A and B are shown apart, each in its own frame.
Chain A
Amino acid sequence: MIKKELFFKGYKSILRYDSPAIALGCCFIAIGALLKNVGFNIQESVVSTMLIYALPGSLVMAESILIGASLLSIFIAVWFVNARLYPMAVSLFPLMMDDSQPKWKYYLSCHFIAVSAWLIMKSNYEEIEKKDRVDFWIGIGTATWSVSVLATILGFYLADYLNKDMLMGLAILNPIYFTCMMVGAMKTLQITLSVSLGAILGPIFYFFSPEWSILLGGFIAGSIAYLIGEKNVG
């Protein structure tokens, strides 16, 4: 089963100085408020954060419901906007794959892949022995996930009290936190180039195709960064 000691070590990462709890909490407060305005009741709001647990996905869902989009178009739109989770999984799970661990842990805990948990794991995995990493990861994931669910509840009930300026403040907080974390992660040439080129190409590609901009921008920026990095190392 899950090693308690490692689970709690991971769980406590939301109490550290670089904790994502505040940023994550605030943006899910905004989501809770948004869902209420879209017409969700409290149960629906909580269930949606529990099952989706990916901000851009929830945003797309809320917008699609507002314009009365079909289920198929919701599926495609969400799949597109959350497709970034695929490279995120592939660049994280090989670090914790171990034959001594049961497969279900990986299939269940991949639900926790989201920017915040991913960045925490990326900056801390080396401290943990490979065979124990998945338990540590489950701890981090459970922590960030529970913060999100609690914040959604809070946001739902605060919705009537939040004015435009406050919602704006809540909305900028998360991208700022992630910007700082990404800048903080720029320690190798490859990552520095990936982050800088991604931040430039993503918005540029938006002019050609809003739907494809993130995937295409990320793919081209990441590939260029990889090639330049490999050339310089090798």
Chain B
Amino acid sequence: MSVNILLSIIVTSLATYLSRFLGVLSSVRIKETSKIFRWFNCLAYATLAALIARTIIFPVGALMDASYLSRLLVVLLSLGIFFITKKNFVYPTIFSAISMGVINNFF
């Protein structure tokens, strides 16, 4: 392994593990019925939603090649399928993967 890549992997893992580890350390003193737990629950869901929305609206990597309209359309159609199939997770995800490339060729 080249040193540079290996070092980058180690640095990335440490930076990632740090937040997880600090989270566990803080958890020791937090009761699941407490207000602070509920607050962190909201923070976690909101941060995840922010992250997901950002990945779709301002993507990095392969999705950058897809037009904004096509991404939006795939999200809306997939959510539609999610509700029609009584909240099944598999159908909308498979649909999204297949339709993304196809829809992007039209819009």
- Report A's interface with B, CB cutoff 8 A: 17-20, 22-23, 26, 30, 34, 39-41, 43-44, 47-48, 51-54, 56-61, 63-65, 71, 74-76, 78-79, 82-95, 97, 106-107, 110-111, 113, 115, 118, 164-185, 190-191, 193-203, 205-206, 210, 213-215, 217-219, 221-223, 225-226, 229-230
Most buried by A among B17, B26, B53, B79: B53
Which residues of B are found within 8 Å of A111, using beta-carbon distances? 17, 20
15 contacts between A and B (CB under 8 A): A30-B61, A40-B5, A48-B12, A59-B61, A79-B19, A89-B19, A93-B24, A168-B65, A176-B78, A180-B87, A198-B45, A202-B49, A202-B51, A219-B47, A226-B39
Q: Is the CB of B101 within 8 A of A169?
A: yes
Which residues of B are found within 8 Å of A191, using beta-carbon distances? 41-42, 45
Which residues of A are found within 8 Å of B100, using beta-carbon distances? 165, 168-169, 171-172
User: Residue A179 contacts which of B18, B44, B52, B62 (CB distance < 8 angstroms)?
Assistant: B52
Which residues of A are found within 8 Å of B32, using beta-carbon distances? 94-95
Given contacts A23-B93, A202-B50, contact A223 B12 (CB under 8 A): no
Which residues of B are found within 8 Å of A83, using beta-carbon distances? 19
The answer, yes or no, to whether B90 is at the interface (CB within 8 Å) is yes
Which residues of B are found within 8 Å of A213, using beta-carbon distances? 50, 54
Q: Is the CB of A178 within 8 A of B52?
A: yes
User: Residue B93 contacts which of A115, A173, A196, A229 (CB distance < 8 angstroms)?
Assistant: A173
B interface: dominant SS: helix
Which residues of B are found within 8 Å of A74, using beta-carbon distances? 8, 11-12, 15
Give Cα A222 to B51, complex, Å.
13
Which residues of A are found within 8 Å of B27, using beta-carbon distances? 89-90, 92-94, 97, 106
Residue of A nearest to B55 (CB): A175
- Report B's interface with A, CB cutoff 8 A: 1-2, 4-24, 26-28, 30-32, 35, 37-63, 65-66, 71, 74-75, 78-79, 82, 87-90, 92-94, 96-98, 100-102, 104-105
Q: Is the CB of B93 within 8 A of A180?
A: yes
Which residues of A are found within 8 Å of B8, using beta-carbon distances? 61, 64-65, 71, 74
Which residues of A are found within 8 Å of B82, using beta-carbon distances? 180, 183-184
Q: Is the CB of B14 within 8 A of A75?
A: yes
Give Cα A219 to B102, complex, Å.
36
Taking the closest CB of chain B, its distance from the CB of A21, in whole angstroms, is: 10
Give Cα A165 to B97, complex, Å.
9
Taking the closest CB of chain A, its distance from the CB of B18, in whole angstroms, is: 6
Given contacts A184-B89, A194-B49, contact A71 B7 (CB under 8 A): yes
